[in-house]
Amino acid sequence: MAKSRFPEIQGGGSLILAWQVRGKRVLVVGGGEVAAGRIYNVLNADAKVTVISPREGLNEEVAYRVEQKQVDLVDRKFEPSDLDNVDMVLTAVDDPEASTQIYKLCKERKLPANIADVPPECDFYFGSVHRDGPLQIMVSTNGNGPKLANIVRRQIATNLPDNIGAAIQKVGTLRRRLRKVAPDPDEGPKRMQWMSKVCESWPLEDLCDMNDRDMEQLLGFYQPGKVPTLDQLRLHEQPGIVGFDGAFGWW
């Protein structure tokens, strides 16, 4: 049988997505070390977090989040009514039976839930995440080996350029300004193609060094579909230098 030109289906994986929870109401049941990690992750995603835990059970980090009013604390054990008006539930308590009961209640209400350290009772997993500004890279072992995911994530991070996060921020700014220059939805494919040219032809150092004036100059080359280098853009601005056209010729 001839080998297919399409990728083989492996199965057994997860659909890894960037879940937008900004402004969503996330309930965290528990206040220990694992809960602290969950809280940190969802706060980084700008969620509104409520923690259900007796105050005496809070670890140092969770207590700090409460003190700084980064999260709301309900000082008691979980009650079913806590699931009213929430969008996501995370549990991190040392009580398997109670955790299972919470998961079942979440399923009845169709609430996405993650039950710490119980993969079969998780609608989603937390991976090991590397963060550099807007850049996020997640490594998941689909619940098989969280520690190994952390090792793999560190290995990936050590091979990334130090300035990758700053470069991505500049690209994001350029992309937003391009949408203002060419707002027509029909321009979408051309915008994507031109931004791809910029990312492929400019080194990270130049992307980081690009300022507002450089962006304004560069956007002038969008319509002809050209991408000059940063040096070419700046050379054009120097006194006594002849002009520079969109085809990279001199006039």
Is 231 an active-site residue? no
Residue 231 covered by a domain: yes
Residue 155 covered by a domain: yes
Are residues 188 and 103 part of one domain?
A: no
Are residues 70 and 138 part of one domain?
A: no
Are residues 66 and 36 part of one domain?
A: yes
Q: Please state, in angstroms and rounded to a whole number, the distance separating the CA atoms of residues 106 and 205.
A: 48
Residue 64 covered by a domain: yes
- With cut-offs at 50, 70 and 90, classify the pLDDT of residue 238: low
Average pLDDT for the chain: 90
Residue 157: the pLDDT is: 92
Residue 221: the pLDDT is: 95
Q: Please state, in angstroms and rounded to a whole number, the distance separating the CA atoms of residues 130 and 132.
A: 7
Q: Are 67 and 43 in contact (CB under 8 A)?
A: no
pLDDT in tens, 24-54: 999 999 999 999 999 999 999 999 999 999 9
Are residues 131 and 121 part of one domain?
A: no
From the CB of residue 88, how many other CB atoms can be counted at a distance below 10 Å?
A: 21
Helix (H, G, I), strand (E, B) or coil at 118: coil
Residue 229 covered by a domain: yes
Q: Looking at residue 2, what DSSP letter applies? A: P
Q: Please state, in angstroms and rounded to a whole number, the distance separating the CA atoms of residues 177 and 167.
A: 16
Residue 171 covered by a domain: yes
Are residues 41 and 95 part of one domain?
A: yes
Burial of 116-138, coded b for 16+ CB within 10 Å and e otherwise, reads: beeeebbebbbbbbeebeeeeeb
Q: Looking at residue 7, what DSSP letter applies? A: P
Are residues 168 and 233 part of one domain?
A: yes
SS3 of 171-182: HHHHHHHHHHHC
Mean pLDDT within 134-155? 89
The residue from 113, 144, 160 where one domain ends is 160
Are residues 233 and 184 part of one domain?
A: yes
Residue 243 covered by a domain: no
Q: Which listed residue (117, 123, 206, 209) is catalytic? A: 117
CATH number at residue 73: 3.40.50.720
The residue from 104, 139, 160 where one domain ends is 160
- Domain with 43, as residue range(s), is 25-126
Residue 10 covered by a domain: no
Q: And the tokens for 173?
A: 């700014």
Q: How far is CA 129 from CA 46, 73, 153, 154, 155, in A?
A: 16, 26, 7, 9, 12
pTM over cut 0.75 = yes
pLDDT in tens, 106-136: 999 999 999 998 889 999 988 888 999 899 9
CATH number at residue 152: 3.30.160
pLDDT in tens, 169-200: 999 999 999 999 999 999 999 999 999 999 99
pLDDT in tens, 67-105: 999 999 999 999 999 999 999 999 999 999 999 999 999
Are residues 193 and 182 part of one domain?
A: yes
Are residues 92 and 71 part of one domain?
A: yes
Per the structure, the count of domains in the chain is 3
Which strands, in side-by-side order, build the sheet including 48-52? 72-74, 48-52, 25-29, 88-91, 113-115
